[in-house]
């Protein structure tokens, strides 16, 4: 089975199912990498200028008005880790 190449034009439910159920590999298209790099530059410039950016240099939800000082990467990791806990029975991989 060929890899699912993400192009930025959308992914169908059959593609999602093939990744989840059959282990289909996923790749990012080269033009997408370029677009992501451009978007990242814009984001970095906005943050460097002091612009408030939700979830990057401000808190989330009720903490929206709270500025995040220090390492933005550490804050992003903390966001993921803080929301990765769950309770109950383990779900199937799919």
Query: DSSP string spanning 8-54?
Result: SS---HHHHHHHHHH---EEE-HHHHHHHHHHHHHHHHHHHTT---B
* pLDDT number for residue 26: 97
* pLDDT number for residue 2: 94
State whether 27 and 63 are in the same domain: no
State whether 62 and 36 are in the same domain: no
State whether 67 and 37 are in the same domain: no
Count of CA atoms in the C-beta half-sphere (13 A) of 2? 3
* pLDDT number for residue 87: 80
State the residue range of the domain holding 32: 1-42
**Interatomic CA distance for residues 67 and 53, integer angstroms:** 9
Per the structure, how many domains does the chain have? 2
- Report the chain's terminal Cα–Cα distance, integer Å: 18
Q: What is the pTM of this model?
A: 0.64
The answer to whether residue 38 is domain-embedded is yes
Count of CA atoms in the C-beta half-sphere (13 A) of 51? 10
Tens of pLDDT, residues 44-73: 999 889 898 888 888 888 888 888 887 878
State whether 4 and 37 are in the same domain: yes
Query: Above 90 in pLDDT, residue 76?
Result: no
């Amino acid at each position: 089975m060929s890899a699912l190449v993400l192009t930025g034009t959308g992914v169908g439910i059959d593609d999602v199912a093939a990744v989840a159920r059959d282990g289909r590999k996923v790749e990012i298209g080269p033009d997408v990498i370029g677009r992501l790099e451009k978007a990242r530059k814009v984001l970095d410039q906005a943050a460097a200028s002091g612009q408030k950016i939700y979830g990057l240099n401000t808190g989330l939800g009720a903490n929206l008005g709270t500025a995040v000082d220090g390492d933005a990467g550490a804050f992003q990791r903390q966001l993921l880790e803080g929301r990765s806990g769950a309770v109950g029975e383990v779900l199937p991989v799919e």
